[in-house]
Structure 1
Amino acid sequence: MLNKEKLFLVLLVFIPVSIAANFWEWGETTVFITAALGIVPLAAYMGTATEEIAVVTGPNIGGLLNATFGNATELILAFIALKAGLVGVVKATITGSIVSNLLLVMGFSMLLGGLRFKEQQFQPTVARLNASTMNLAVIALLLPTAVEYTSSGIEEMTLQNLSVAVAVILIMVYILTLLFSMKTHSYLCDVGDIESGEGGEDKHKVNLSFWVFILLLVTLAVAIESELLVGSLEVATSDLGLSALFTGVILLPIIGNAAEHATAVTVAMKDKMDLSVSVAVGSSMQIALFVAPVLVIAGWIIGQPMDLNFHPFELVAVTVAVLIANSISSDGESNWLEGSLLLATYAVLALAFFFHPVTEGII
């Protein structure tokens, strides 16, 4: 734990470095790499601040705060990319966030947890419910694309209106999942209030004003670093020999989710697989049911239209991730081999995105 904290402190150095690199024009690639490294600790401190505030506000409001700020880094990054007109990158990031949480995060958690404890258990009822919710998310992403591909000459505005309507439904479903997990069936979804996996015994005093200030400060810093990252993305990825598709699906989600990834793996290695699965699958659900719909509606409001018409290859990746994750998690048990299968699937998808000949229709 201490090593992780030290690493995040070291990575904070890249925030002023990225700002200096942009100001003194050290090159787009330098700005991109330093801004990406600077976002990693900011995401971690955003999560820490949210958890500390949740200790004071109680489990219900705390749960809502965790749900709202759980993917705030990705939402800010995606919104700035959307404002810049990089709609394809935004869609790729949504795809990548869902895929990386279900395959990379859960894979590492099951692998490392399984190597230490052989067999680990988690709540199968919740796992099956999450599987059904993720199936709905796949359907919601699939149908607008199916409408576009099965209609001749459909107008862009029609597709946009359909996407906004679907987005509203997904947000309503997201609110229902919060009501279910925090109110009516909280006994099923109780996996511990503190993401460190230490349980509910930690009743330390919390300086609420300080952590609210930290949360606001970190949110501002994430916005600044995201601006630098997005502004240098196209030139930097070209210089590094990476496609915008690979960057959006693989690199950006890892950057935004790094702290969450570390938390899920850490608690899995403490035999808290319930909490680890909750972090991984919950984050994917939040991206699909909240972040993506909010971006669709935000794009509609700011005049930068974004629809839910994803490229078929991105949909294949999401569908594959959801299918294998649902299959492995449905029995409520995990071991190191199942973690290896998830990681192998992620590696195959990452290679496919790396070698994909990007066309105008995908990015």
Structure 2
Amino acid sequence: MWTKQTILSGLLIFVPISVAAHFLEWGELTVFVTAGLAILPLAAWMGTATEEIAIVAGPTFGGLLNATFGNATELIIALIALRAGLVSVVKASITGSIIGNLLLVMGLAMLLGGLRYKEQTFQPVIARVNASSMNLAVIAILLPSAVDYTSSGIDDQTIQHLSIAVAGVLIVVYGLSLLFSMKTHAYLYEVGIASTEADEGSGATATPAATTPAAAHPPHPHTATAEPAPNLMLWIGVLVAATVLVAIESELLVDSLETATSQLGLTALFTGVILLPIIGNAAEHATAVTVAMKNKMDLSLSVAVGSSLQIALFVAPVLVLAGWFMGQPMDLDFNPFELVAVAVAVLITNSISADGKSNWLEGILLLAAYAVLGLAFYFHPAIEGIG
């Protein structure tokens, strides 16, 4: 039976294939598909390299490294799309990343974990903190849109300035959330890790750990054993190489996006909300589901919820600021339907996770919500102009 590592290693063959497809002009659809498949294993290698470096760097710097690179693949794709002027697609990918992590990833984790274990638990205190953070994210992307729709004659520059100010607030909040998870309340997460490591040896039910932005990746197995420290220079090289290759493949993906999606009969909105987030986050999604099936729902939620918070509090604000410097104005004035989707995702996720327990039916509810939203985005009219 093929393991996740075997499958991801096999997908590396699409790196040279996608480059060949571009230079030999095999067609935009072929380039789009092969580049997307090539990004999947490269994103996994970036995540692995980050975790290995974090082991050597120590808990504080390692946590900061994970918090910064947790969504590096999505950020790279979005930056290249933003540089190409595909602002509407970038906004859609932000929406898709948030609802994908909250509904698709958490839904699969709760469903598959719940089929093996009748009821799984995680820390409700941290779930409530995360719920408040996600509520803030909804407010942050709602208000610029509300100002635009309720003010007659307001110009784009004013909305841009408001978005930049809001982005600054969100980045500050993100930094404070890292301080919370790594310093002032680090014991919440450390207790969870210690309990999980002990459970691996005893077979007991895992005690919940924190699901915070700094914990966006589960602890590496090396932290629980006396194995030699990873080769720092080797993994730095892997991280740099994977990042460069992701940037190259993202360039190919974005360049072929308009023609390929047109041939597939997909709108820019559906592509940004559904396809791009799955491509950028597939490896991380697999990790969340795998650990949930090992009865480590706390770590599974740390991947899903932590990634959503990174997108809302860090990646989106960075893209707003980057667009300003690039001369490609990007604001937080989202499509009203995207706002509805994010609000629905946050609402149902908060209601399900509030009690600190999960089962397979709750997973089904989250997946059903994602399916309904996916269908709505599929049938939603195309955004005027993909750029």
How far apart, CA to CA, are the structure 2 residues paired with 1:22 and 1:259? 25
Residue correspondence of structure 1 range 144-159 to structure 2 within 5 A:
144-159=144-159
Deviation at 1:195, TM superposition (A): 2.2
How far apart, CA to CA, are the structure 2 residues paired with 1:179 and 1:117? 34
Q: 1:200 aligns with which of 207, 223, 247?
A: 223
Deviation at 1:362, TM superposition (A): 8.8
Residue correspondence of structure 1 range 220-299 to structure 2 within 5 A:
220-299=244-323
Q: Which amino acid aligns with 1:213?
A: G
8 Å CA contact 1:197–1:267 kept in 2: the answer is no
Q: Which amino acid aligns with 1:84?
A: A
How far apart, CA to CA, are the structure 2 residues paired with 1:332 and 1:97? 23
Q: 1:331 aligns with which of 344, 355, 359?
A: 355
- Secondary structure at the residue paired with 2:256? helix
Structure 2, unpaired ranges of 5+ = 194-214
8 Å CA contact 1:122–1:273 kept in 2: the answer is yes
The sequence identity of aligned pairs, in percent, is: 71
Quick one: structure 1 residues 66 and 2, their matched pair in 2 at CA, closer, same or farther if it must change by over 3 Å? farther
CA deviations over 1:287-309 (Å, ceiling 9, x no partner) = 00000000000100111100000
Q: TM-score, normalised by structure 1?
A: 0.97
Residue correspondence of structure 1 range 1-363 to structure 2 within 5 A:
3-190=3-190, 191-192=192-193, 195=218, 198=221, 200-205=223-228, 206-360=230-384
- Secondary structure at the residue paired with 2:3? helix
Deviation at 1:248, TM superposition (A): 0.4
8 Å CA contact 1:197–1:270 kept in 2: the answer is no
Q: Which amino acid aligns with 2:359?
A: N
Deviation at 1:188, TM superposition (A): 1.5
Deviation at 1:204, TM superposition (A): 2.5
How far apart, CA to CA, are the structure 2 residues paired with 1:318 and 1:235? 28
8 Å CA contact 1:32–1:236 kept in 2: the answer is yes
How far apart, CA to CA, are the structure 2 residues paired with 1:169 and 1:311? 22
- Secondary structure at the residue paired with 1:250? helix
The alignment's C-alpha RMSD in Å is 1.5
- Secondary structure at the residue paired with 1:200? helix
8 Å CA contact 1:197–1:275 kept in 2: the answer is no
Deviation at 1:359, TM superposition (A): 3.9
Structure 1, unpaired ranges of 5+ = none
Q: TM-score, normalised by structure 2?
A: 0.91
Deviation at 1:189, TM superposition (A): 2.7
* Number of aligned residues: 363
Runs of 4+ in 1 over 4 A off after TM superposition: 196-199
- Secondary structure at the residue paired with 1:25? coil
Deviation at 1:199, TM superposition (A): 8.0
Deviation at 1:232, TM superposition (A): 0.1
8 Å CA contact 2:110–2:360 kept in 1: the answer is yes
Deviation at 1:2, TM superposition (A): 6.2
